[in-house]
A and B are shown apart, each in its own frame.
Chain A
Amino acid sequence: MSLLEVNDLHTHFISHDLNNRLRVAKALNGVSFSVDEGEIIGVVGETGAGKSLTAMSVMGLLQPPARIVSGSVRFAGKELVGLPVESLNRIRGTELTMIVQSPLTSLDPLSRVGKQLVRAQREHRDVSREEAWKAGVQMLATVGIPDAERRMRAWPHELSGGMAQRVLIAMALINGPRLIIADEPTTGLDVTVQAQILDLLRGLVRDRGMGAMIITHDLGVVAHYCTRMCVMFAGSIVEAGPVRQVFNDARHPYTRALISSTPKRIAERGFGQVGGPPPNLYDLPVGCHYRDRCVMAEEACRTAPPRKDVGGDHVAQCHFAERQPEMATGART
């Protein structure tokens, strides 16, 4: 059994327009994946593909009008969808934690770093203030903050972006989670600091046998820090598999287009097909959602594409997943 199993998750934004007609944005359309212990899974895709929404759905952080309409999220065998908030709060922040994108806006600006770390522990565990403080100092040192004792007394606005991200990681780790979801953990940080943060995350996953899910749009992060990856498009995972296999033998045309639009590939092979607008979530195309932008779209694509296993834990949601890619990508010639 995997640590986290997400099965056929559908999240919709349900609202009414000016004429009080129902408007439904189908933001997640059957997302399925799993995360094992000791594994880092990378989720990539363009803006609006549903990467962050997947994380929010898993964490139970959706706000109306967003709603999980069907599907299941099982964490360590326990179903999270439909769980009352009190039960959910016993899991979130302890066994299942999250690091969000903008560290400086995610810390409480009115409390010192130390107080926030103590609060996070005492909320979930019966520890004394002194013990919690000590654990906080230790955790700050663990995440590579020099002079941790002094930093405990710092206000969030006194921290640099890299430091604030480390504090958030420390807060996510303080209760010893089994799964950590990192939503764009290094976006907005400088490259040299990014390397430090990712090394830290990977080290912790290895040492503690935690599971981790990194949401990013930086393919470099996925290529070098993740073991498996999921490629999302219009609220579905169109391709998933071991990182090396997906990069070298992508079976979904969207994945190929994504990989071929990195500067390095452009330098090697020239500009390929240019990305188009994402499909309208209020009115998704019937069949394959990528149809309108796809170079190999055919009549068959008007029906929903099957999830095809192409071997070695590598799946692609495309009618032509078995087809040789050479004949399809204009970018490669």
Chain B
Amino acid sequence: MTKPVLEVRDLVKHFPGNNPGETIHAVNGVSFDLRPGETVGLVGESGSGKSTIGRSVVRLNRPTSGLVRFGDRDITNIGEREMRPLRKELQIVFQDPYSTLNPRMKVGNLIGELVKLHHRDLTPAQRREQVTALAARVHLNADLLTRFPNELSGGQLQRVCIARALAPNPKVIVLDEPTSSLDLSVRAGILELLGELQRDTGVAMLFISHDLETVQLVSHRILVLYLGSVVESGPSDSVFAHQAHPYAQALLSADLPPDPDVELDRFVLQGEVPGPVHLPPGCPFAPRCPLARQDCTTAKPAATQVGPNHFAACVRVADGTNDIRKAPPQAVQTDLHGQYQQEFLGRTT
């Protein structure tokens, strides 16, 4: 197996909270590898720490503890001056292309800026050539290079951002919800482009998204996050085919496939994700888990193998009682319909 280009071990990132003395536990011990030519998908709901992990690995924030190794270098705690030359190999594309591009610069200069920063010995003519080549590579019409960002559509702007990320020939690109703000048909074009670029350059991608179907389409491996911890990880096909962790089961069952003929086998969870200030002891999912038992609240469960390269952090995996659909019946459904009839009309069904 090829050597990982990026190794993350027990990554922890805490932020100071809004009130004095409070701590926001954004990421709590996340480990994964990223190999050349591979796409790893991070999925989870808001507040699960996806974006924080993405920012930690490109060192836009300083991890509280843990290890981030890029190639042979430990970049967890190195200073900005040492990080600078590595930045060209670790790029990031953000969700909202409108707010990431300087509105006063022309698109050609926005891409040229990156070329200039990372290839300092080029003549202006060579640089322009590079910019045109990059634009062609992201299928951006060359006429658009003389326009300002506000004249371009969301999809075109996201192509500009991808061209900027590609300019220094990176080894890793972190894509933080790159398609969430785009329309369906435009989104498909961007996903196609990303696949094409990965085939051509062998760049490794960390794809962050809350859209399960997009992640399934582009990722080789996925990590399911909940409250800053990985609850399940494994090859994309294997995780989507059979999830072992109760949260992963519920999350994937809540997905609505755009096909009316697909029978939904829904499992609706109670409540919402708790805030990351006071973490539940033990398994982070225990307070919402219909299968929680005594030992779930004492220690954080270790990752247990459930298939080739497929792990789930749940104590029930060991004895095979981890299927949420076999949970005690009263806890199974949030019966809002029945609740409504009971409370509003005063009758029971």
Q: A residues engaging B (CB < 8 A)? A: 46-47, 138-139, 141-144, 146, 160-163, 190-196, 199-200, 203-204, 206-207, 217-224, 243-244, 247-248, 257-259, 261-267, 271-272, 274-275, 277
**In the complex the two chains form, is B343's CB within 8 Å of A223's CB?**
no
Q: Is B104 an interface residue (CB 8 A)?
A: no
The A-B contact count (CB < 8 A) is 144
Task: Report B-chain residues with C-beta under 8 Å of the C-beta of A272.
Answer: 188
Q: A141-B343, A160-B272, A218-B256 are in contact. Are A191 and B210 (CB under 8 A)?
A: yes
**In the complex the two chains form, is A219's CB within 8 Å of B258's CB?**
yes
Q: Select the stretch in B4-12, B126-134, B169-177, B178-186 that faces chain A.
A: B178-186
**In the complex the two chains form, is B183's CB within 8 Å of A257's CB?**
no
Task: Report B-chain residues with C-beta under 8 Å of the C-beta of A271.
Answer: 188-189, 191-192
| Closest CB pairs A-B (n = 7) | A275-B185, A220-B256, A219-B258, A263-B213, A190-B45, A203-B337, A261-B188
Candidates A143, A203, A262; contact of B258 at CB < 8 Å: A262
Q: A192-B254, A247-B259, A261-B187 are in contact. Are A138 and B213 (CB under 8 A)?
A: no
Instruction: Please give me the residue from chain B that is nearest to A273 by CB atom.
Output: B185
Candidates B189, B211, B214, B272; contact of A275 at CB < 8 Å: B189
Candidates B256, B258, B272; contact of A162 at CB < 8 Å: B272
Q: How far is the CB of B197 from chain A (nearest CB, A)?
A: 14
Q: A207-B340, A207-B341 are in contact. Are A196 and B213 (CB under 8 A)?
A: no
Question: Apart from A248-B261, A275-B186, what 20 extra A-B contacts exist at CB < 8 Å?
Answer: A46-B185, A46-B186, A47-B154, A141-B343, A163-B272, A191-B251, A193-B272, A195-B266, A207-B337, A220-B257, A224-B260, A243-B260, A258-B184, A261-B184, A261-B185, A262-B184, A267-B216, A267-B217, A274-B192, A275-B185
Instruction: Please give me the residue from chain A that is nearest to B188 by CB atom.
Output: A261
Instruction: Please give me the residue from chain B that is nearest to A226 by CB atom.
Output: B260
Whole-angstrom distance between the alpha carbons of A200 and B339 in the complex?
A: 10
Whole-angstrom distance between the alpha carbons of A196 and B272 in the complex?
A: 10
Sample 30 A-B pairs with CB under 8 A, ordered by A number.
Answer: A46-B183, A46-B186, A47-B183, A138-B344, A141-B344, A142-B343, A190-B45, A191-B251, A217-B183, A217-B184, A218-B258, A219-B184, A220-B257, A244-B261, A248-B261, A257-B185, A259-B258, A261-B187, A261-B188, A262-B184, A262-B213, A263-B214, A263-B216, A264-B213, A264-B257, A264-B258, A266-B191, A275-B155, A275-B186, A277-B153
Task: Report B-chain residues with C-beta under 8 Å of the C-beta of A207.
Answer: 337, 340-341
Task: Report B-chain residues with C-beta under 8 Å of the C-beta of A257.
Answer: 185
Instruction: Please give me the residue from chain B that is nearest to A277 by CB atom.
Output: B153
Contact residues of B between 147 and 179, Cβ < 8 Å to A:
153-155
Q: How far is the CB of A207 from chain B (nearest CB, A)?
A: 7
Q: Is B336 an interface residue (CB 8 A)?
A: yes
Task: Report B-chain residues with C-beta under 8 Å of the C-beta of A222.
Answer: 258
Task: Report B-chain residues with C-beta under 8 Å of the C-beta of A190.
Answer: 45-46, 210, 272-273
Whole-angstrom distance between the alpha carbons of A244 and B260 in the complex?
A: 6
Task: Report B-chain residues with C-beta under 8 Å of the C-beta of A263.
Answer: 188, 191, 211, 213-214, 216-217
Contact residues of B between 228 and 280, Cβ < 8 Å to A:
250-251, 254-262, 264, 266, 268-269, 271-273
Instruction: Please give me the residue from chain A that is nearest to B139 by CB atom.
Output: A274
Q: How far is the CB of B76 from chain A (nearest CB, A)?
A: 30
Q: Is B327 an interface residue (CB 8 A)?
A: no
**In the complex the two chains form, is A192's CB within 8 Å of B216's CB?**
no
Could you give, for residues 306-349 of chain B, a 1 whenever the CB lies within 8 Å of some chain A CB and a 0 otherwise? Answer: 00000000000000000000000000001011011101100000
Instruction: Please give me the residue from chain A that is nearest to B154 by CB atom.
Output: A47
Task: Report B-chain residues with C-beta under 8 Å of the C-beta of A143.
Answer: 336
**In the complex the two chains form, is B256's CB within 8 Å of A224's CB?**
yes
Instruction: Please give me the residue from chain B that is nearest to A293 by CB atom.
Output: B185
Q: How far is the CB of B155 from chain A (nearest CB, A)?
A: 7
Task: Report A-chain residues with C-beta under 8 Å of the C-beta of B210.
Answer: 190-191
Task: Report A-chain residues with C-beta under 8 Å of the C-beta of B254.
Answer: 191-192, 194-195
Instruction: Please give me the residue from chain B that is nearest to A247 by CB atom.
Output: B260
**In the complex the two chains form, is A192's CB within 8 Å of B185's CB?**
no
**In the complex the two chains form, is A199's CB within 8 Å of B336's CB?**
yes
**In the complex the two chains form, is A144's CB within 8 Å of B337's CB?**
no
Whole-angstrom distance between the alpha carbons of A190 and B269 in the complex?
A: 12
Task: Report A-chain residues with C-beta under 8 Å of the C-beta of B154.
Answer: 47
Q: Is B292 an interface residue (CB 8 A)?
A: no
Q: A190-B45, A261-B184 are in contact. Are A224 and B216 (CB under 8 A)?
A: no
Whole-angstrom distance between the alpha carbons of A204 and B273 in the complex?
A: 25
Whole-angstrom distance between the alpha carbons of A139 and B273 in the complex?
A: 23
Instruction: Please give me the residue from chain B that is nearest to A148 by CB atom.
Output: B343
Q: A46-B184, A248-B261, A262-B213 are in contact. Are A192 and B250 (CB under 8 A)?
A: yes
Q: Is B86 an interface residue (CB 8 A)?
A: no
**In the complex the two chains form, is A223's CB within 8 Å of B258's CB?**
yes
Could you give, for residues 273-298 of chain B, a 1 whenever the CB lies within 8 Å of some chain A CB and a 0 otherwise? Answer: 10000000000000000000000000
**In the complex the two chains form, is B184's CB within 8 Å of A195's CB?**
no
Q: How far is the CB of A295 from chain B (nearest CB, A)?
A: 13
Q: A144-B336, A219-B258 are in contact. Are A191 and B184 (CB under 8 A)?
A: no
**In the complex the two chains form, is A223's CB within 8 Å of B184's CB?**
no
**In the complex the two chains form, is A220's CB within 8 Å of B255's CB?**
yes
Task: Report B-chain residues with C-beta under 8 Å of the C-beta of A47.
Answer: 154, 183
Q: How far is the CB of B95 from chain A (nearest CB, A)?
A: 12
**In the complex the two chains form, is B255's CB within 8 Å of A204's CB?**
no
Whole-angstrom distance between the alpha carbons of A261 and B217 in the complex?
A: 12
Q: Is B83 an interface residue (CB 8 A)?
A: no
Whole-angstrom distance between the alpha carbons of A200 and B227 in the complex?
A: 26
Candidates A219, A224, A247; contact of B264 at CB < 8 Å: A224
